[in-house]
Amino acid sequence: MAVPNKKHASQPCVIPGGFTVLDIKFTKNSPAAHQLFVKEHKVRLEKTSSRPLDRTLFVLNIPPYCTEDVITRLFSQFGAIQSVELKDKPGHPEPTEQKLSKYFTTKQKQGFSVGYIVYTKPSGVTAAKTHPQNVPLIVSTEDHPVRTGLHKWIHQYSQSFVQPDTLQQAVDYFMSDYDRRKEEDAERKKKEAEQQEEDEEGWVKVTKGAKGTKVRPHSEAADKRALEKEGKKTKRKELLRFYSWQHRESQREHIAELRKKFEEDKQKIALLRAQRKFKPY
């Protein structure tokens, strides 16, 4: 451990770049510790309000066995916590389109993660940043043991069972929601189409319409098909072996083909020779 100088042992360890180093151990008696790097969350363009700049702590290098609950427990010693968000990589929070039931969310990677901890008060952030390094955070304590290894896998296995009814409910809920959205969509489209129609007096109201939506979305595949059709048409019209120059041309092509093949083969041979591939034994 190069950083922590014995002198500053009880001091917070701050490295250039503004991060404070916190040690984190799995149990009290673990001989080695990982280092957490914490800093106040500071981004120039934060669009969302889920990470208020003054109250959010940015944590790097969170070990895989730390779930959001564990992090909440560990960091609530610095102040009351509003929310904890763990991610694979630092970056903007993904806009969650809709709430999925837990059976349908894709499983998260169980690697080292980064965290955004939002305290209710800005003081939590400062408290965390001034935490001395020689007082490590302990992940698994007697009161709150953290499951790993076989315990965890057996637990996971028994948790993986779903009551078919519950699953069915989740599906039904989602599908009815989906149908509703679908209907709304259709309604909206219908309305737009109606607007395009003539009224009784033969007038059409011209509107800008919703941005980026057209009545019938055209597709890339359809475009390609049309082009191909066109190409075939022109090809059909072409005359082959009609003029003498065409014949000459094809002969020339043949020779060129042979030459090209010859050159390629020569190159291959040279390569194989370089690798001494012609020694039979």
Q: Which of residues 145-164 bind another protein (CB under 8 A)?
A: 148-154, 157-158, 160-164
Among 167, 186, 204, 226, contact with another protein (rule: CB under 8 A): 167
Please tell me the distance from the alpha carbon of residue 230 to that of residue 223, in angstroms, as a whole number: 11
Considering beta carbons, is residue 17 or 202 the nearer one to another protein?
17
Shortest Å distance, C-beta 253 to another protein: 9
Shortest Å distance, C-beta 118 to another protein: 18
Shortest Å distance, C-beta 68 to another protein: 17
Residues in the chain, total: 281
- Binding of another protein by 189 (CB under 8 A): no
Of residues 87-126, which lie at the interface with another protein (CB under 8 A)? 89-90, 100, 103-104, 109-112, 114
CB neighbour class for 25 (10 Å; exposed up to 12, middle 13-18, buried from 19):
middle
Of residues 5-34, which lie at the interface with another protein (CB under 8 A)? 15-17, 19, 21, 26, 30-34
Closest CA to 145 of 222, 220, 73: 73
DSSP string, 85-140: EEESSSSPPPPP-SPPPTTTSPPPP-S-EEEEEEESSTHHHHHHHT--TTS-EESS
Please tell me the distance from the alpha carbon of residue 26 to that of residue 70, in angstroms, as a whole number: 11
Of residues 123-142, which lie at the interface with another protein (CB under 8 A)? none
- Binding of another protein by 65 (CB under 8 A): yes
- Binding of another protein by 214 (CB under 8 A): yes
Please tell me the distance from the alpha carbon of residue 73 to that of residue 35, in angstroms, as a whole number: 17
Shortest Å distance, C-beta 31 to another protein: 7
